[in-house]
Structure 1
Amino acid sequence: MFVCHPLSREHELESFSCGKEELDTWLRTSALHARANNTAATFVWCEEGSREVAAYYSFTSTTLAREELPKNLARGSMHTIPAVLLARLALDTRYQGQGLGPVLLVDSFERALAGNEIFAVRFFVVDALDDDAHTFYEKHGFRGIPGSMRLYRKMSDIAKTLA
Structure 2
Amino acid sequence: MGFVSEPLSEQHDLRFDSGRPELDTWLQRHALASEARRTGRTFVWLHDERVVAYYTVTGHLLARAERPRGNPTEVPAVMLARLALDKGLHGQGHGGVLLADALHRIVAATQTVAARFVLVDAIDEVAHAFYRCYGFREIPGTLRLVQKISDVAAALDAA
TM-score, normalising length: structure 2: 0.95
Distance 1:155 1:125 in 2: 10
CA offset digits 1:16-40 (Å, max 9, x no partner) = 1001000000000000000000111
Give 2:32's aligned residue.
32
Give 1:114's aligned residue.
108
* Runs of 4+ in structure 1 over 4 Å off: none
Distance 2:63 2:4 in 1: 36
CA offset digits 1:104-147 (Å, max 9, x no partner) = 00000000011111111000000011111111111111000012
Give 1:153's aligned residue.
147
Q: CA contact under 8 A between 1:5 and 1:43: conserved in structure 2?
A: yes
Give 1:86's aligned residue.
80
CA offset digits 1:70-108 (Å, max 9, x no partner) = 22xx2xx32101100000000000111111000000000
Q: CA contact under 8 A between 1:83 and 1:121: conserved in structure 2?
A: yes
CA offset digits 1:17-70 (Å, max 9, x no partner) = 0010000000000000000001110000113xx321010000111111113222
Distance 1:12 1:111 in 2: 23
One-letter amino acid of the counterpart of residue 118, structure 1: T
Q: CA contact under 8 A between 1:55 and 1:92: conserved in structure 2?
A: yes
Task: Structure 1: give runs of 5+ residues left out of the alignment.
Answer: none
Aligned pairs (5 A) from 1:6-155? 6-14=7-15, 16-47=16-47, 50-71=48-69, 74=70, 77-155=71-149
Paired positions, count: 156
Distance 1:129 1:4 in 2: 22
Task: Structure 2: give runs of 5+ residues left out of the alignment.
Answer: none
Distance 2:61 2:104 in 1: 20
Identical columns (%) = 49
